[in-house]
Structures are given as C-alpha cells and as structure tokens.
Amino acid sequence: MLEGTQLTKDFRVRLGLFRGSATLRAVDDVSITIDAGETVALVGESGSGKSTLGRILLGLILQTSGAVHYRGTDFARLQGDAARQFRADVQAVFQDTSASLNPRRRVGESVIAPLLFNRRLSAAHARIESAQLLERVGLDPKIFASRFPHQLSGGQRQRVGLARALASQPRVIVADEPVSALDVSVRAQILKLMQDLQAQEKLAYLFITHDLGIARLIANRVMVMYLGAIVEEGNAADVFARPSHPYTLALTLSAPIPDPTRARPPRHLIGDIPSPLAPPPGCRFHPRCAFAQAICKTDAPPVREFENAHRSACHFAEQVRGG
C-alpha cells in the first residue's frame, strides 16, 4: 500500500553565532512497507526520527534520498488527480490536537472541509456526512458540530481528528503519538475506536509511539528506531516474545508494570539518546548498551535476519535473544 525505500533525511542546523552549521541526519537509510489493513508500530524514544519518517511518508516533507511509493507509483511522479487521491488516501492524526485543528473553525466545519475538497461533495451532502462521521467517532453532532476546539476535552478533539481523517475515505492513517497526551481511560477508548474503525474500513495504520505497551496492544508488526535507523523489526508477537536488539529489550524492561506489588526490573536504559549531530561511531547504541563489547565501538553491526523475517542490527543478537 505505502512503501518507503532507503529513505534518508538531512537537515542543515545552525550551530550558533560564529559556529556555522552542520548536517543532522534525522532518518538514515530506512525502508518500510505498510500493507493494506495492517498496523505497523514505529517505536522509539523522542528524538529517534520517528515523526520525521512519518512526515516523509505523508508527503509533508521531502526526503533527501530514497523514494516513497503509493500503490506501486513513485510519490514524486504523482500529479493532478493522482496526487490529490494520494493526499486523500493517506491521512494524518497528530498528538497535538489543539494545533492540528483550526481554532477558529467549528468542529463541523473542520470535518466538512475534506468532504468538499477531497471528495468534492455538495455542501448539503457534506453537512449530512460530517454529522454521520461525528456520530461514528462517538460525538453527538447536535452538541459538538457547533463547538470550537478549545471547548472540547483532549479525547473529544482526538475523536474530531479521526472524523476529519475518515472524511477523505483514507486507506492509510499515519498516527503520530495520537494518544500520548490523553489520560489512561480516554487513551483506551481512542485505541478501541481506532481498532473498530480499522476493522470496518480495512484501514492501514502507521502508529508512531514511544510507548511499547501500546505497540504491544495494537500492532501486527513493530519497527524499532534509534537515532534515525531501524535497529529491529518483525511481527509484533516475535519482537515482544524474543527481543533481538538490546535497545528493544531495554524498552521492554522499562515499560510500566500495571501492578504495584511486582518488583521493578533494574534500569536497562542508561542516559539520554545522543545528539544526532554527533552520533557515536560503530554501533550508535554502544554508549548505552549493556551488551556492548570492543567491536561495537568501531564496527556498525549489519542487519541480520532470524525466523519469520525478524531482523536485528546487533553484533550479539543471539546473546540478546538467549536472554
């Protein structure tokens, strides 16, 4: 459905007065496929490049190298109606709903806009369908269509964001931390709603999250990103049953345990993610890795494949898999 091949994204960053500028590689040679009806979770800490990759796949920013194909056609070659269809078919849901909804537009108008511009419905038809969409996401249109975003809770705004995305009848939704700003009970409601909509519409999701617990709940496949590169990927069941990269293992062990009586595991993820302006040599994860050995400081690990297309970029993946 949507495929990114060997994507790289560089940004020029000003270092300050008299210090010139430098290149920051936010995405480094990443390939990703999202098939119809599946949920791919893109997991990593903040600063790992997940959102930049999501924005490239949405066509919001241009990659430095590599290609994005939608249904087999290079996105860069899409023009006219085909480009418009791509923009309708591949929709976004963002974390910051107060920024992604126009504060001066009533909720009903926000949902009507894609019906008019992407689907080219008549005004009367768009009004009826926007009311139906609000109902589908659990908002009574009689109450909510006339409200402004600031009059809604975070969960209600996220429901509006989903209704607006659905208005274009998308095939793929790139959801960037869509529930991170919500409290736990609302989070569960929105995830359930997203799963229901996926089953009804055969939607594909790229679900960007720092929360491995959420990825475990919703993903068919998991890709783990660290400092711009994919360090592990595979079926969700395989990745969670047998993490094959120390970073994934550390994220798994540091995920919250919803039982206060159970002992916490020792901290496995030490320090913060290094600056992408000066990534460590060899394996980028080595300064934080509990499995690191001398070779890790000099040689970048190749990606190796285990059963079921489960891949890991670690010199000592077998040891990690062995526990």
Binding site for ligand SF4 (CB under 6 A): 245-246, 283, 285-286, 289, 291-292, 296, 301, 314-316
Minimum distance, C-beta of residue 276 to ligand SF4, in the bound complex (Å):
17
Q: Alpha-carbon distance 236 to 217, whole Å?
A: 9
Which residues are 14's β-sheet partners?
Answer: 21
Q: Alpha-carbon distance 15 to 104, whole Å?
A: 37
Does residue 119 contact residue 72 with C-beta atoms inside 8 Å?
no
Which CB sits closer to ligand SF4, 25 or 286?
Answer: 286
Amino acid at 76: A
- Work out the number of other CB atoms within 10 angstroms of the CB of residue 239: 28
Which CB sits closer to ligand SF4, 38 or 232?
Answer: 232
Reference 288, options 241, 238, 240, 226; nearest CA is 226
* DSSP secondary structure of 18-51: TTEEEEEEEEEEEEEEE-TT-EEEEE--TTSSHH
Minimum distance, C-beta of residue 162 to ligand SF4, in the bound complex (Å):
37
Which CB sits closer to ligand SF4, 218 or 314?
Answer: 314
Minimum distance, C-beta of residue 219 to ligand SF4, in the bound complex (Å):
22
Which CB sits closer to ligand SF4, 16 or 323?
Answer: 323
Minimum distance, C-beta of residue 271 to ligand SF4, in the bound complex (Å):
13
Q: Alpha-carbon distance 287 to 285, whole Å?
A: 6
Which CB sits closer to ligand SF4, 75 or 247?
Answer: 247
> CA Rg, the chain, in Å?
21
Minimum distance, C-beta of residue 252 to ligand SF4, in the bound complex (Å):
14
